[in-house]
Structure 1
Amino acid sequence: MSTQVLTVPVDELAPRLAYELWRLRQQVFVVEQDCPYPDLDGRDLEDTTQHVMLLEDERLVGCLRVLDDGDWARIGRVAVAPASRGRGLAALMMDAALALCGDREVRLDAQTGLTAFYEGYGFEVTGPEFDEDGVMHVPMCRRRP
């Protein structure tokens, strides 16, 4: 099985890959997690947003995005297709995302059950747990080295 990590801004996404990207996010966040929310929030289109996608045999199995929030970067919309979970694929995407961020401060809102995963990358919980669309999250930050 051939695995490839692809990092591109939205304007470089082929139309079919863009469709697969938003379909995967819809499948995971809206359908599977039963959270009807506006996934297409406009941030995907920002010039500085980078989409990190994981392809296996040219099929999209994971994605996340890296946003520029001024003084820090923000990682979000981290998703792995249900059939591809449990094989360490999210780690491949996180490695690519953090490489994009360099030595900048990085923030994210982690689903509470994934806190330990992000702590493995140097993130620390920075605030109280909160409910986002029926799923509990915690704010986390990886400070500059």
Structure 2
Amino acid sequence: MENSLDWQIKTYSQLTKDELYQILHLRQRVFMLEQASLYLDLDNKDQQSVHLFACEHAKHGVVAYLRLVIPTIEHKEQPVYFARFALEEKYRSQGIGKTLFEKGLKYAAEQWPNQSLALSAQLGLQNYYSKYGFVVVSTPYDDGGVMHIDMVKPAKVDGHA
């Protein structure tokens, strides 16, 4: 099924209205309806982010999504923040989520090679992200009804982490 996906990486201003609608629709279905996680999804960070997503050719809809909140000129030292992972239910357990994450890691390494990466992981995924070099930097906390933990992958300096 992964072969039927068209992968895109776009800034907010490059997104079409339909793409933005489909992204927000997927996020609402996954986070608000499936996970019953009530929080303000529209947080004014989409505008300063890069959006990595996959569309299915036959369906023409967004089925996988990851937001990379990039450091601003004023806050260059901030990490690239991976957020809003969302995957259409029928695409789970097929390796597409792993592909999505790895494409995000690759893009971040190419665009911001000396920048640390950060994410807020669901508690049960701590070991998964650890395999990619992320380390825990917080105690567990409730995020919209789902327990999370903050994790950071340190920046590489001169080829060393």
TM-score, normalised relative to structure 1: 0.92
Question: Which of residues 131, 139, 159 in structure 2 aligns to 1:120?
Answer: 131
1:34 positional shift: 0.8
- Give 1:76's aligned residue: 83
The amino acid across from 1:127 in the alignment is S
> Structure 2: where are the runs of 5+ without partners?
157-161
Identity in percent: 29
The 5 Å alignment of 1:1-145 reads 1=1, 2-46=4-48, 49-57=49-57, 58-69=60-71, 70-71=76-77, 72-102=79-109, 103=113, 104-145=115-156
* SS in structure 1 of the partner of residue 97 of structure 2: helix
1:125 positional shift: 1.3
The amino acid across from 2:19 in the alignment is L
> Structure 1: where are the runs of 5+ without partners?
none
1:56 positional shift: 2.1
Contact 2:51 2:65 in 1 (8 A): yes
Query: Hey, what's the Cα distance between the residues in 2 that align with 1:56 and 1:115?
Result: 29
Question: RMSD of aligned C-alpha atoms?
Answer: 1.3
Moved over 2 A (4+): none
Contact 1:5 1:92 in 2 (8 A): no
1:134 positional shift: 0.8
Query: Hey, what's the Cα distance between the residues in 1 that align with 2:128 and 2:6?
Result: 21
Query: Hey, what's the Cα distance between the residues in 2 that align with 1:114 and 1:6?
Result: 25
Which protein is richer in strand relative to its size?
1
TM-score, normalised relative to structure 2: 0.83
> Over alpha carbons, which structure has the higher Rg?
2
Alignment: residue pair count: 143
